[in-house]
């Protein structure tokens, strides 16, 4: 799996790249929304933290159907009756949320991603390890100990460099496209 840092930064990159075309909220609210959506699939960590049997890691919360439902509810709340905004808003939110299972798929190890849930429980992984994998633990204490784990630290550094660079590029592109569009005339 990717680390929390990698998932968060990938979600921010997707959000930044789609903010204008999908008309996603900006500012601090937008950053919080991006981070929340990018970490939403890891709700299943609750099962590892003391509610065994409730969730399995990379279970249904990593499925496109679950994420589509969550993004539908969120888009309905955000569109505030301006229904013409709903399709773009929903698509942008879903793309940000899907960045998480896509990263997990590209790691190529660990539990598979249930792309076809609930029709098929099979988990899928990339046959080639495209991204370096971070380690995960089955307790809060274990998760904290990963901060001192060399391979996890190297993965997080790689994620910070790659996704941080992409975030800067997406922000610059978003800003540049915003300046090139003619605005309303006074």
At residue 12, φ and ψ (nearest 5 deg) are -65, -40
Quote the CA–CA distance of 108 and 111 in Å, as a whole number: 9
Which residue reads 């991204």 in tokens? Answer: 131
Q: Tell me, what's the pLDDT at 52?
A: 57
Which tops the pLDDT comparison, 41 or 44? Answer: 41
Computed over every residue of the chain, the mean pLDDT equals 85
Closest CA to 143 of 33, 38, 64, 57: 57
Q: What are 107-156's pLDDT values in tens digits? A: 888 889 999 999 998 999 999 888 877 676 666 677 777 777 888 888 88
Encode pLDDT of 57-67 as tens digits.
Answer: 788 899 999 99
DSSP single-letter state for residue 158: H
Residues 101, 39 contacting (CB under 8 angstroms)? no
Domain boundaries, the chain: 4-180
Q: DSSP assignment of 96-125, as one string?
A: HHHHHHHHHHHH--SSPB-TTTTT----B-
Q: What are phi and psi of 113, to 5 degrees?
A: -90, 125
Q: What is the pTM of this model?
A: 0.83
């Amino acid at each position: 799996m990717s680390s929390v840092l990698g998932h968060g930064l990938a979600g921010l990159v997707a959000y930044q790249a789609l903010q204008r075309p999908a008309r996603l909220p900006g500012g601090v609210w937008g950053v919080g929304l991006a981070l929340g959506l990018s970490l939403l699939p890891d709700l299943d960590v609750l099962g590892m933290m003391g509610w065994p049997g409730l969730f399995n890691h990379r279970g249904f919360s990593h499925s496109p159907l679950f994420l589509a439902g969550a993004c539908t509810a969120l888009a309905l709340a955000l569109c505030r009756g301006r229904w013409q905004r709903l399709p773009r808003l929903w698509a942008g939110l879903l793309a940000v949320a899907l960045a998480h299972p896509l990263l997990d798929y590209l790691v190529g190890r660990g539990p598979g991603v249930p792309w076809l849930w609930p029709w098929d429980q099979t988990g899928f992984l990339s046959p080639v390890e495209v991204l370096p994998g971070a380690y995960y633990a089955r307790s809060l204490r274990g998760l904290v100990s990963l901060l001192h784990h060399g391979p996890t630290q190297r993965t997080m550094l790689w994620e910070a460099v790659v996704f941080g660079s992409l975030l800067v590029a997406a922000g610059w592109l978003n800003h540049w496209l915003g300046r090139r569009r003619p605005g309303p005339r006074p």
